[in-house]
């Protein structure tokens, strides 16, 4: 097959034609694929087929005779890597399995395992997730008597991550007077102690957090010339997807890897750079031509995903950003529906509108639930939409909540497995040494920890020689040795058992299965079923013929540790509406998208209004939200929203007014026909979004909160009664439904129209 292809390829060269497998690409895509030598930047607009270009570029390299092992392709999700590998396999066959393809973290973890001795780590080092890291930080704060209110673990972890991303080591931090002075001003003068202790404890436990995987790879290449030479010559071609999302250390590593051959190809879109909060540096893509003056640039500007209206509306927004690479995204798709902008009085009304709209579109167009996505700026906005969808019986899934692998029972089981692979893993040891209960309490654990620090040895090494320490004696010593022998026995199984056989033995013989089975509560049954589900997933891992990795426990744990949140929560077969933040939606696409909560101080967020740089990132975030849609986009906002327990007036987002008016349909649903707020002349000019938004802003103040309003007893309310509401004003009761705390009233308000309110929570009084 390959020989036949070589003849076709050679013939294509002689005839100045491209090989037939590239026929499905447009001109710009084909040019980017064929240009394999030297630095290349591919600017890929939303929906322009960048994954297809990367896929065929790799296939083209292999077809030209490049050894697959010499190709490195870095992505940001395992899902993207899997999809690319599958597509490449359709062109070149099983050779696709030999390409070094995966996320930055998975590829660099693979390199570090091979170079573990060089950097002083065990080959079986543990990868800490954020929960493990926070747990360690909490332990250090307690040991050092540091106030966890001032040194909040989550905030401290973010500061440590920021330091690592910028290659500031604990030693560098201690030597930087500016950083120390800033900490003193913020009354966190001991942060450098925490950072140092955190790194020491990770190293001592043979563990790396996600940032360490990148940082240690950088220092491997910086400080060890032999290793650097080896990997620079291993990879003749380096490709980076979503280059606009790379941080400083990722940028430094890829530059170093490509330094010898200079065959580096980056693909990205500056208009979709939305991860500055986690260290992404948009300058990496903006300055690529400066870093590589002889680079060739290709622009993928044809959008295959969205309607003309959606493409043009998104472009009209993003053009307001000053810093961007020039491109003009276009599409041959149908014109499609206009962007529907919908005003609501409260966030509850907004949620009801969205749920009802989904319900109607589903039935009218015979669409599945998964054709719809609700995108919001912050996770806290999901609650009202959940309630509204549940009332209409619409199945939904929240992305970004507690994932399967973050559940307590799963973390407990995984901690047993982690300890077998890496006995120095202090976080895993602490979690399971007395779970299920075996009489090893906090006092005993603290003694182990103290001896570990005193002896400058790992806790596992102290446990192995527990009989040599007078502090550990009697019944305590017996319990510790029994635990030690149990874990050692499990560990010995790694020599001749696969991951599933070991895991099953651990679940049964540790007492975990029995302990969870004995709990017959709803929660207990759920935990037991989750544990069985985990064992099933390990069985699938072992029996997956498509997985080229060895079926070892270490490889399974690494795969779990490096999953992204969206992949942990994904079930491709479940038909449900997707609820997620705009950040989580990056890389996804849906026929119908609802972008909700489009209000000033929410989207754009209040924190982004301090600088143009931050505001431009928020605008890029809105651009990403719009371009997730294929057919329809609804943009909704509320004129009032509860914040910190108070109903607060809201103003429509400035980004709404930036959408070119010809692509906008302002929905006047909910406004009374006789309302003086929007005149008939203005209605005839509904495409003038700025005019309507001003009217809407005026409308939002037509029901002001009465500061002198006093709530009254309305428990005796009857149909026909006149009432006054704190916000909606005067109205008449039309219907009553239910009793007690569930009693609801349908009320026709003079200005706000008909509303159905839960009497118990509505702030009203009889008139």
Name the residues annotated as catalytic: 50-51, 241-242, 272, 628
**Residues 252 and 218: beta-carbon distance below 8 Å:** yes
Q: Kindly tell me the sign of the dihedral angle through the C-alpha atoms of 77, 78, 83, 88.
A: positive
471: Cβ contacts below 8 Å, ≥ 6 apart? 447, 451
Residue pair 248/166 in contact (Cβ under 8 Å)? The answer is yes
CA distance 554 to 397: 31
Per-residue tokens: 322: 């000053």
C-alpha triplet 456, 461, 463: angle, nearest 5°: 115
Cα dihedral 251→249→401→385 (10° resolution): -50
DSSP per-residue letters across 273-330: ---GGGT--THHHHTHHHHSTT-EEEEE-B-SSS-HHHHHHHHHHHTT-SS------B
How far apart are the C-alpha atoms of 270 and 620, rounded to whole Å? 9
State how far the Cα of 570 lies from the Cα of 630, in Å rounded to an integer: 21
Q: What is the DSSP letter of 764?
A: E
Q: Rounded to the nearest 10 degrees, what angle do helices 553-561 and 522-543 cross at?
A: 120
* Strand boundaries in 541-652, DSSP class E: 577-581, 590-595, 629-638, 640-643, 646-649
Q: In 400-482, where do the E strands start and end?
A: none
264 forms beta bridges with 238
- The answer to whether 263 touches 269, Cβ cutoff 8 Å, is no
Contact 631, 333 (CB under 8 A): no
Please give the structure tokens belonging to residue 658: 């930036």
Contacts of 356 (CB under 8 A, 6+ apart): 388, 392
CA distance 563 to 572: 16
Question: What is the spatial distance between Cα 191 and Cα 170, in angstroms, rounded to a whole number?
Answer: 10
CB half-sphere exposure, 317, CA atoms < 13 A: 29
User: What is the four-CA torsion angle of 326, 331, 337, 342, rounded to 10 degrees?
Assistant: -20
Place of tokens 């749920």: 355
User: d(Cα 188, Cα 182) in Å, to the nearest integer?
Assistant: 9
Give the N- to C-terminal CA distance of the chain in Å, as an integer. 86
């Amino acid at each position: 097959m390959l020989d036949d292809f070589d003849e076709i390829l050679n013939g294509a060269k002689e005839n100045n034609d491209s090989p037939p497998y590239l026929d499905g690409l447009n001109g710009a895509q084909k040019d980017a694929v064929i240009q394999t030598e030297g630095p290349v930047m591919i600017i890929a607009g939303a929906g322009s087929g960048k994954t297809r270009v990367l896929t065929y570029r790799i296939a083209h390299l292999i077809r030209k005779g490049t050894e697959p092992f010499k190709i490195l392709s870095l992505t940001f999700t395992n899902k993207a890597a899997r999809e690319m590998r599958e597509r490449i396999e359709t062109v070149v066959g099983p050779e696709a399995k030999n390409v070094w393809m995966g996320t930055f973290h998975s590829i660099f973890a693979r390199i570090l395992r091979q170079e573990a001795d060089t950097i002083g780590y065990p080959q079986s080092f543990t990868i800490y997730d954020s929960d493990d890291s926070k747990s360690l930080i909490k332990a250090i704060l307690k040991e050092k008597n540091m106030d966890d209110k001032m040194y909040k673990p989550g905030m401290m972890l973010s500061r440590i991550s920021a330091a690592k991303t910028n290659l500031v080591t604990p030693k560098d931090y201690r030597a930087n007077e500016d950083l120390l002075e800033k900490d003193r001003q913020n009354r966190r003068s001991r942060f450098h102690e925490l950072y140092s202790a955190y790194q020491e404890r990770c190293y001592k436990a043979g563990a790396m957090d996600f940032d360490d995987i990148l940082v240690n790879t950088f220092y491997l290449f910086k400080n060890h010339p032999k290793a650097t030479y080896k990997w620079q010559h291993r990879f003749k071609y380096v490709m980076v997807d979503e280059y606009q999302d790379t941080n400083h250390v990722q940028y430094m590593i890829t530059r170093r890897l490509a330094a010898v051959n200079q065959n580096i190809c980056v693909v990205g879109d500056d208009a979709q750079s939305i991860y500055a909060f986690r260290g992404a540096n948009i300058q990496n893509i903006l300055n690529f031509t400066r870093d590589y003056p002889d680079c060739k640039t290709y622009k993928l500007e044809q959008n295959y995903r969205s309607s003309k209206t959606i493409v043009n509306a998104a472009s009209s927004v993003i053009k307001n950003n000053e810093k961007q690479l020039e491109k003009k995204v276009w599409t041959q798709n149908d014109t499609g529906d206009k962007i529907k902008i919908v005003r609501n009085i409260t966030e509850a009304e907004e949620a009801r509108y969205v749920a009802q709209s989904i319900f109607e579109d589903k039935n009218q167009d015979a669409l599945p639930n998964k054709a719809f996505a609700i995108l919001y700026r912050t996770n806290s906005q999901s609650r009202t939409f959940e309630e509204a969808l549940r009332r209409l019986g619409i199945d939904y899934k929240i992305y970004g909540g507690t994932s399967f692998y973050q559940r307590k029972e799963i973390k407990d089981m995984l901690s047993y497995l982690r300890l077998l692979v890496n006995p120095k893993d202090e976080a895993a040891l602490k979690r399971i040494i007395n779970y299920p209960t075996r009489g090893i309490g906090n006092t005993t654990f603290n003694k182990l920890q103290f001896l570990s620090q005193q002896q400058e040895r790992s806790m596992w090494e102290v446990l192995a020689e527990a009989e040599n320490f007078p502090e550990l004696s009697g019944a305590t010593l017996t319990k510790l040795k029994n635990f030690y022998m149990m874990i050692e026995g499990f560990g010995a199984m790694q020599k001749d058992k696969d991951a599933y056989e070991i895991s099953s033995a651990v679940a049964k013989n540790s007492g975990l299965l029995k302990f969870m089975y004995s709990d017959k509560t709803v929660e207990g049954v759920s935990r037991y079923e989750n544990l069985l589900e985990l064992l099933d997933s390990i069985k699938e891992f072992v029996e997956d013929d498509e997985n080229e990795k060895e079926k070892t426990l270490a490889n399974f744990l690494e795969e779990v540790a490096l999953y992204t949140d969206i992949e942990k929560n994904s079930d491709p077969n479940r038909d449900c509406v997707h609820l997620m933040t705009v950040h989580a939606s990056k890389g996804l696409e849906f026929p119908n998208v609802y972008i909700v909560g489009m209000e000033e101080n929410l989207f754009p967020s209040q924190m982004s209004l301090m600088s143009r740089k931050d505001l431009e990132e928020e605008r890029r975030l809105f651009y990403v939200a719009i371009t997730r849609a294929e057919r329809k986009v609804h943009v909704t906002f509320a004129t009032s929203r509860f914040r910190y327990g108070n109903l607060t007036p809201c103003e429509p987002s400035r980004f709404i007014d930036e959408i070119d008016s010809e692509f906008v349909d302002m929905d006047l649903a909910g406004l009374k026909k006789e309302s003086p707020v929007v005149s008939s002349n203005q209605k005839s000019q509904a495409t003038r979004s700025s005019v309507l938004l001003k009217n809407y802003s005026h409308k939002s103040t037509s029901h002001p909160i009465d500061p002198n309003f006093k709530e009254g007893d309305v428990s005796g309310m009857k149909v026909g009664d006149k009432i006054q509401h704190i916000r909606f004003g005067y109205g008449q009761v039309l219907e009553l439904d239910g009793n007690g705390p569930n009693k609801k009233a349908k009320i026709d308000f003079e200005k706000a129209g008909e509303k159905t309110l839960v009497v118990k929570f509505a702030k009203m009084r009889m008139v």
